[in-house]
Every structure is written in C-alpha cells, then in structure tokens.
C-alpha cells in the first residue's frame, strides 16, 4: 500500500487508517456472520476473515509502521502536542504487541475462532459441551501460545498477558484482590434479600409481549436515550453484541424472549450504552488510537450505566410507563410504577449471566474468572470445565446447573478466543457506579430528568468526559480525572445497598 503523505505524522495516520479500513471490513464480516449469513457461507467466511486478519496483522507489525512511529516520536515539535504524544504512545503499545505475535498464529486464531463460534452455537443448542470441547482445547492452546509471545509479566501469570489486551495493566492478582472483598459483601446482601420480609411485585416479568412489539419498544428506548439510528442499527442474534465498523456505522444486536420483555429491554439498554460510546468517538480521529475506545472495562461501564443506573431506576420507569401502551399494547397500562420498578429489580440467583440482576451479576463473572485463570494456568483441563463450573455455581449462587446450555456453554466469549475478558464486566460495574455518582454530583436533578425522558444531559456528559478522548488517557487516569478519586468498590456497594435494601425492606 502506498502512502503519499509527506510528513511522518500524516504518513503514520494514513498507515493506521488504511489498516483500520481492513480491520473494520472484517468487523462487518463478523457482524454479518452473526446476524445475516446463511449457514452455507461458513467455510469461505472463515477463510476471508483469516486472510484479512493476517493482512491487518502484517501491516500492524510492519517495519514501515515501526519506522513511522519512531520518526514521529523523535520529532520534538510533533511530540509537544499532547494529543499527538498520546497517539504515538498508544500506537507504540499496539505495535509492540503486534510485533510479538507471528502472522501464522494470528491467522490460525482468526480461522479457528470463526469455526469455533459456529460449533459453539450448535453445541449450545444441543447442550453438548463435548461437541465444543475440541474447539475450545484448540483455542486454549493458541491462547497460551499467544500469552507466551506477549510475555508473562514478572511475578505474574500467563492469564495477565491476555487480560492486558482488554484492560491495559490488568493482572489476575489485581482482579483477585478486587473480587475477594467484594464477594462476601455481595453474598451477604443476596442472603439478606433471600430472607427479606417482602419482595417487589414482579408481574411485569411474566407479561407476554410479541417479538415485533418488543423490537419496536427496544428501538424507541435506544433512540430515546441517545443512540442515533442514522449511524447504526439494531438487529437480532443469538448472543447480543455491539459491533459494526466505526462511529458512524454501529451495529447492535439483541434477542427477544416473548415471556419476558425485560430481557430484551435490559440487553438493548446495555448494547445501546456500548453503541453510544462508539458513536461518541471522534470521526476525525478514526482509525487512530484517539478514535478508539480506551478499554473494555470503560466500555462496559457505559453499557452497565445505561442498563442499571439509568434503566433500573424508578425515574426511568416512570417515563417508560407512559410509552408502554403505544408500543407493547394498551393492556400494559395496568401495571403500577411499583410493579414496573420492582420487576426491573428482582434479585434472584439464576443460571444465565446476561439475564442476571445487578447484585448476583458479579458472582457470575467470578466463576468465569476462576475457570479461565485455571485453564490458561494449566491447573484445569478443558474437559473438566463443566464440573468446576457447576461446583462454583453451587458454592457462589447456591444453584444446581441443569445442563451445559444453561452452564458453561452460555457465553460466546471463549468460542471467540477471548479469555481475560470477563473480569472487565465487573470492572465496568465498578467504573459505572463511580462515574455515575460523579455525574449526579455535577448535574443536580439528573435522575429526576429521566422521569421526563431527559437523557441528553447524561449522554452529553459522557460524550465530553469519556467518549471523545478515545485512548488519550489510561482507564485509571480517566476515572481519576473525571471523578477526582481512584477506582473504589464503595460506589457500587452504595448503589446496590441503597436501592435494594429499601425495596426488600431489609
């Protein structure tokens, strides 16, 4: 590929953007595979994705890229501009990572995960872990090789090298340190709820709503909270996700369960949070680190904030109650605000992470963290996953897992070759609580506005404080800048205790 730019900064940006043209094309192939592609397309699609992934990797690890970064870095005039300095810092981080991986491994991973995702979907439908196990074994082997290429940090473990891809600087030790004190506090709250004197009315959770009506409601809510449908879509897939190619073409998906409208609503709010973050990135910085999201933890903070801090608030439901009759049927007006708000906040241990309430959610994440840490570390074989999974669900959530479909086959992540990813969900919950507290302090009356359908203030605050910066600041630095404090578990526990104890009369 030819770069006609004359100064090294322009040349670097062109190099980054041309690579992004390819990688985002692969993102679209991925979205298509999950939402549109007929089954017959699988084999060729896997080869398409593998080739493009290889080409992206070759460019991202090329001598030309390295030379361009070095040329900008050695130019004091360029580096005096803080945005450029941040761009170079992050481009260098990516380049260093990319040069450590051989192309053959990148391609093998892309090809294997493309097939494995399909096998996972089939195995999940059949609740047959054995069918998926050989693919997962192959992926684990590739992930270990990948970790070894990146290099295990001193005093750390292989898992850390993978987690760093999703949350810069994240280690198993750090995660364990965050999870360990959180676990008993969550378990205490859940136990108190279990023996609570009253339960919220939750009839709305058994209210049958047709899928087309749910889709209309989901689109209304996504649009109302700020997702721009001129720059994105909402479709259906087995596992909800937010993908697409760039800030002006964001592809979200959700799934619908006729027996529970709150499933689709929660996952739509969640994916809309991701989508609003993506749409809030700076198009003029597209393809460069300054036009990319900073970490999965911060990404998840956006989805969880809209899903939980907004979407499970009493104020939100007092607004949404006025929209239900026109979208899902006049009969929906029979539910009181207490019933709607209550239904959104039922706490009950269940099998499925993506359907979990806010209190039990983090325990689901802890199960996955423990398993993937052991599998990557080598103390657990892939074949042993179902039994360890089921034991952990018994210990942490008090549940007997009935089958692998509702157990260790429920999530798509491992089939995509993503390990070290799950803990970012809990980090996201912690970030979300802390950021939302700051937003409420800085904008008095914010939550009251939700009851009038006013969500633009929060969206604008997030656009300006989080989204537009891209990767300019590290996640911890960003949280410190915006909230004035380092990350802490207190805001999450305040949020949960403050809402759930009154609701359950405990």
Count the residues of the shown chain that bind a copy of itself, applying the rule CB under 8 A: 35
**Is 284 a residue that touches a copy of itself (CB under 8 A)?**
no
| Binder among 89, 183, 185, 231 for a copy of itself (CB under 8 A) | 231
Determine the interface stretch with a copy of itself among 38-46, 166-174, 337-345, 397-405 (rule: CB under 8 A): 38-46
Q: DSSP characters for 329-362?
A: -GGGGGS-HHHHHHHTT-----S-GGG--HHHHH
Question: Of the two residues 275 and 428, which places its CB atom closer to a copy of itself in the complex?
Answer: 275
Question: Of the two residues 27 and 433, which places its CB atom closer to a copy of itself in the complex?
Answer: 27
Those residues with Cβ within 8 angstroms of residue 264's Cβ, 6 or more apart along the chain or in another chain: 214, 215, 217, 218, 254, 255, 256, 257
**Is 45 a residue that touches a copy of itself (CB under 8 A)?**
yes
| Binder among 14, 41, 150, 353 for a copy of itself (CB under 8 A) | 41
- Distance, in Å, from the CA atom of 42 to the CA atom of 33, rounded to the nearest integer, reads 8
- Distance, in Å, from the CA atom of 331 to the CA atom of 337, rounded to the nearest integer, reads 14
Specify the DSSP class assigned to residue 239: S
Helix locations, 170-313, DSSP H? 172-194, 211-225, 261-279, 296-304
Report, in Å, the least distance between residue 80 CB and a copy of itself: 30
**Is 38 a residue that touches a copy of itself (CB under 8 A)?**
yes
Report, in Å, the least distance between residue 305 CB and a copy of itself: 24
**Is 484 a residue that touches a copy of itself (CB under 8 A)?**
no
Instruction: Scan for tokens 């549109």, then name that residue.
Output: 36
Report, in Å, the least distance between residue 230 CB and a copy of itself: 5
Nearest Cα residue to 423 out of 177, 240, 233, 250: 177
**Is 111 a residue that touches a copy of itself (CB under 8 A)?**
no
**Is 29 a residue that touches a copy of itself (CB under 8 A)?**
yes
- Distance, in Å, from the CA atom of 231 to the CA atom of 248, rounded to the nearest integer, reads 5
**Is 245 a residue that touches a copy of itself (CB under 8 A)?**
yes
Those residues with Cβ within 8 angstroms of residue 478's Cβ, 6 or more apart along the chain or in another chain: 294, 298, 466, 469
Structure tokens at 347: 């706490």
> Any catalytic annotation for residue 271?
yes
Query: What is the dihedral sign for C-alpha 154, 157, 163, 167?
Result: negative
**Is 25 a residue that touches a copy of itself (CB under 8 A)?**
yes
Collect contacts of 312-315 with beta carbons under 8 A, ≥24 apart. Answer: 312/344, 312/345, 312/358, 312/499, 313/447, 313/450, 314/341, 314/451, 315/447, 315/448, 315/449, 315/450, 315/451
Asked if 466 contacts 482 with a C-beta cutoff of 8 angstroms, the reply is: yes
Question: Of the two residues 25 and 187, which places its CB atom closer to a copy of itself in the complex?
Answer: 25
Determine the interface stretch with a copy of itself among 51-59, 320-328, 429-437, 453-461 (rule: CB under 8 A): 51-59
- Beta strands 232-236; 242-246: pairing state: unpaired
Question: Of the two residues 44 and 208, which places its CB atom closer to a copy of itself in the complex?
Answer: 44
Question: Of the two residues 54 and 89, which places its CB atom closer to a copy of itself in the complex?
Answer: 54
Question: Of the two residues 100 and 233, which places its CB atom closer to a copy of itself in the complex?
Answer: 233
- From 34, 271, 339, 370, active-site residue: 271
**Is 37 a residue that touches a copy of itself (CB under 8 A)?**
yes
Determine the interface stretch with a copy of itself among 60-68, 173-181, 222-230, 252-260 (rule: CB under 8 A): 222-230
Question: Of the two residues 279 and 390, which places its CB atom closer to a copy of itself in the complex?
Answer: 279
| Binder among 98, 178, 261, 286 for a copy of itself (CB under 8 A) | 286
Q: How many helices (H) and strands (E) does the chain have?
A: 22, 3
**Is 331 a residue that touches a copy of itself (CB under 8 A)?**
no
Asked if 325 contacts 333 with a C-beta cutoff of 8 angstroms, the reply is: yes
| Binder among 62, 75, 248, 465 for a copy of itself (CB under 8 A) | 248
**Is 85 a residue that touches a copy of itself (CB under 8 A)?**
no
Binding residues for a copy of itself, per CB under 8 A?
Answer: 1, 18, 21-22, 24-25, 28-29, 32, 36-41, 43-45, 47-48, 51-52, 54-55, 228-233, 245-246, 248-249, 286
The residues annotated with a catalytic role in the active site are: 271
């Amino acid at each position: 590929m030819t770069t006609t730019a004359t100064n090294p900064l322009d040349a670097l940006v062109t190099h980054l953007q041309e690579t992004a043209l390819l990688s985002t094309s692969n993102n679209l192939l991925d979205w298509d595979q999950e939402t549109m592609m007929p089954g017959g397309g699988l084999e060729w699609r896997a080869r398409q994705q593998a080739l493009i992934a290889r080409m992206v990797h070759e460019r991202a690890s090329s001598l030309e890229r390295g030379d361009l970064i070095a040329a900008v870095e050695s130019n004091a005039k360029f580096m005096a501009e803080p945005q450029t300095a941040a761009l170079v810092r992050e481009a260098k981080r990516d380049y260093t990572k990319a040069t450590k991986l051989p192309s053959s491994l990148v391609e093998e991973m892309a090809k294997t995960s493309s097939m494995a995702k399909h096998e996972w979907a089939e195995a999940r439908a059949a609740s047959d872990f054995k069918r998926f196990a050989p693919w997962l074994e192959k992926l684990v082997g590739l992930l270990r090789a990948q970790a070894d290429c990146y290099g295990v940090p001193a005093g750390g473990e292989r898992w850390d090298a993978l987690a760093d891809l999703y949350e810069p600087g994240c280690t198993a030790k750090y995660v364990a340190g965050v999870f360990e004190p959180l676990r008993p506090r969550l378990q205490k709250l859940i136990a108190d709820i279990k023996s609570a004197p009253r339960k919220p009315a939750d009839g709305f959770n058994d209210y049958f709503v047709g899928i087309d009506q749910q889709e209309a409601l989901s689109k209304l809510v996504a649009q109302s909270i700020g997702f721009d449908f001129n720059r994105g879509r909402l479709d259906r897939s087995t596992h909800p996700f937010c993908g697409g190619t760039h800030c002006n073409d964001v592809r979200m998906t959700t799934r619908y369960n006729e027996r529970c409208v709150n499933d689709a609503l929660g996952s739509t709010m969640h994916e809309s949070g991701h989508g609003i973050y993506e749409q809030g990135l700076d198009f003029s910085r597209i393809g460069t680190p300054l036009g990319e999201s900073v970490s999965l933890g911060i990404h998840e903070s956006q989805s969880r904030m809209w899903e939980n801090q907004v979407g499970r608030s009493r104020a939100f439901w007092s607004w949404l109650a006025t929209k239900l009759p026109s979208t899902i049927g006049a009969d929906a007006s029979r539910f009181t605000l207490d019933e709607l708000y209550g239904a959104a906040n039922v706490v009950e241990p269940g099998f499925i992470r993506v359907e979990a309430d806010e209190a039990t959610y983090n325990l689901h994440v802890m199960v996955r963290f423990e398993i993937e840490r052991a599998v990557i570390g080598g103390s657990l074989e892939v074949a042993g996953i179902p039994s360890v999974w089921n034991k952990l669900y018994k210990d942490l959530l008090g549940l007997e897992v009935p089958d692998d479909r509702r157990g260790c086959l429920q999530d798509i992540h491992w089939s995509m070759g993503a390990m070290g990813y799950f803990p970012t969900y809990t980090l996201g919950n912690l970030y979300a609580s802390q950021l939302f507290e700051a937003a409420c302090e800085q904008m008095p009356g914010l939550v009251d506005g939700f009851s009038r359908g006013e969500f633009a203030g929060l969206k604008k605050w997030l656009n300006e404080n989080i989204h537009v910066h891209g990767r300019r600041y590290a996640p911890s630095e960003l949280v410190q800048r915006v909230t004035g404090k380092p990350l802490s578990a207190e805001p999450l526990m305040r949020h949960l205790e403050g809402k759930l104890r009154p609701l359950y009369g405990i």
